[in-house]
């Protein structure tokens, strides 16, 4: 077993500055509050991560902010990377300010986040479930149990099979994963959210999707 280092995202005060779930977004520059492309309602702010040298390279951006539609009167495809019912807002360093209409819904509970050293079995987690042997599937289950549920770096711990998005005709690079619990996020039943980045210089560099039971 070859264990690769990464950073677990764990709740706790004081937390890494500007790394958090919930509350109101705290950008490193100008953030335009996104609306849902399907229903037009301002999206709910979920979490944000800052550029953190040596741990999380977001350059040239200072922070990335993830939102999703939580309009209870619609069935917008908020789990989908390309539906426009969730949003990733990459912010360039500058004078921090928020423009656009914020969500009128009650914000998600606020949780400061810390980066903690962790490791996971990359090979076991990267197996193709469609071609895996029984032994490989057992190893995958063990590796999923042992890997951090929320993390930056490493490989995605898929609940429903590999769904890495494409951008600019290339597979996107995995950035971070956030578990719905303990944060109380709405990613389906005990779901997970996955943040990816385009490998090319791209107008819309990040993408977010979720999987739940």
Measured between alpha carbons, how far is 54 from 184 in angstroms, rounded to an integer?
29
The residue to which tokens 């549920």 are assigned: 149
Render the burial of 57-85: b for 16+ CB within 10 Å, e for the rest.
ebeebbbbbbbbbbbeeeebbbbbbeebb
| Closer of 78 and 151 to Zn ion (Cβ) | 78
Give me the 74-93 binding string for Zn ion, x by CB under 5 A, dash otherwise: x-x--------x--------
Q: How far is CA 73 from the centre of its chain?
A: 25
Give me the 97-116 binding string for Zn ion, x by CB under 5 A, dash otherwise: --------------------
**Which span (105-113, 126-134, 166-174, 177-185) binds Zn ion, by CB under 5 A?**
166-174
18: contact with Zn ion by CB under 5 A:
no
Q: Provide CB contacts within 8 A for 197, sequence distance 6+.
A: 172, 173, 175, 205, 206, 207
Site for Zn ion in 184-213 (CB under 5 A): 198, 200, 202
Please select the residue that binds Zn ion; options are 90, 118, 167, 209, rule is CB under 5 A: 167
| Closer of 138 and 170 to Zn ion (Cβ) | 170
Please select the residue that binds Zn ion; options are 116, 168, 181, 190, rule is CB under 5 A: 168
| Closer of 28 and 70 to Zn ion (Cβ) | 70
Residue in 173, 131, 178 with CA at minimum distance from that of residue 159: 178
Measured between alpha carbons, how far is 55 from 153 in angstroms, rounded to an integer?
8
Q: Count the site residues for Zn ion by CB under 5 A.
A: 13
Sign of the four-CA dihedral 7, 10, 14, 19: positive
Site for Zn ion in 40-79 (CB under 5 A): 69, 71, 74, 76
Other C-beta atoms closer than 10 Å to the C-beta of 144 total: 16
The minimum distance between CB 69 and Zn ion, in angstroms, equals 3
Whether the Cβ atoms of residue 18 and residue 50 lie closer than 8 Å to each other: yes
The minimum distance between CB 88 and Zn ion, in angstroms, equals 12
Please select the residue that binds Zn ion; options are 11, 30, 38, 164, rule is CB under 5 A: 38
Q: Which residues bind Zn ion (CB under 5 A)?
A: 36, 38-39, 69, 71, 74, 76, 85, 167-168, 198, 200, 202
């Amino acid at each position: 077993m070859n264990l690769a280092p990464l950073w677990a995202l764990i709740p706790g005060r004081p937390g890494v500055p500007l790394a958090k779930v919930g509350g109101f977004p705290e950008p490193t520059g100008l953030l335009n509050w996104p609306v849902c492309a399907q229903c037009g309602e301002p999206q709910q702010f979920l979490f944000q991560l800052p550029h953190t040298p040596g741990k999380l390279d977001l350059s040239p951006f200072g922070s990335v902010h993830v939102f999703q539609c939580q309009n209870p009167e619609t069935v917008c495809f908020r789990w989908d990377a390309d539906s426009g019912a969730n949003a990733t807002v990459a912010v360039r360093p500058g004078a921090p300010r928020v423009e656009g209409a914020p969500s009128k819904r009650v914000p998600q509970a606020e949780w400061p986040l810390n980066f903690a050293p962790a490791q996971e079995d990359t090979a076991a987690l990267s197996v193709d479930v469609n071609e895996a042997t029984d032994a490989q599937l057992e190893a995958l289950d063990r590796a999923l149990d042992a890997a951090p549920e929320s993390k930056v770096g490493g490989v995605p711990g898929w609940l429903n099979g590999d769904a890495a998005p494409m951008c600019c005709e290339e597979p996107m690079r995995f950035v971070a994963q956030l578990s719905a619990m303990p944060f109380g996020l709405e990613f389906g039943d005990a779901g997970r959210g996955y943040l990816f980045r385009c490998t090319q210089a791209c107008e819309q560099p990040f993408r977010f999707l979720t999987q739940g039971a």
